[in-house]
Structure 1
Amino acid sequence: MNRTFCLFSLFFGWLMIAGLMFPHEASAQKRGTVIRLSDFKIVGRIQKPQAFYVLHRAPLNYKSLNFKESFVKKVINEVKKSPF
């Protein structure tokens, strides 16, 4: 096992050195083609949005609810029943 580990690390080391020696070839292949266009001029104005709006705050007229009947008896009856 020691010999195979030594050979594997030696092989991996050589691969690392070879990769460091030739980095420019890999980067040259990744470059795309360059397309150069002639200059042209666009004349005009930039249009800005003309919308204007105002949002009013909602009124805070909260009132408490008035219950006409009590639900305490119904809740107690439901709790006393078996769930299944």
Structure 2
Amino acid sequence: MADAVIVVSLLLVAVTATAAVANRDPARQALVLSVLGLVLAVLFTVLQAPDVGLSQLAVGSALTPLLIMLSVRRVKRRGQPKDGGR
């Protein structure tokens, strides 16, 4: 039973990692990266490393996608004219 849970977790990691790489839009990529962080946290917990899973949950699922979204927003804002296009 435990082996089946590990195999399913590994398959979910492979699918979400492939989806993160296949996305071209940075905003969607950040969202998929957040899901990948969550799936990795589950995998680490299944592999009996809950401390690593909690770290992955904090950094991989929350902090990194947030920083990517803020960077994308800043780059998009920098590309707009300051006078509103007039």
Which structure has the highest helix share of the two?
2
Same fold (TM over 0.5): no
TM norm structure 1: 0.26
TM norm structure 2: 0.26
Asked which structure has the greater CA Rg, the reply is: 1
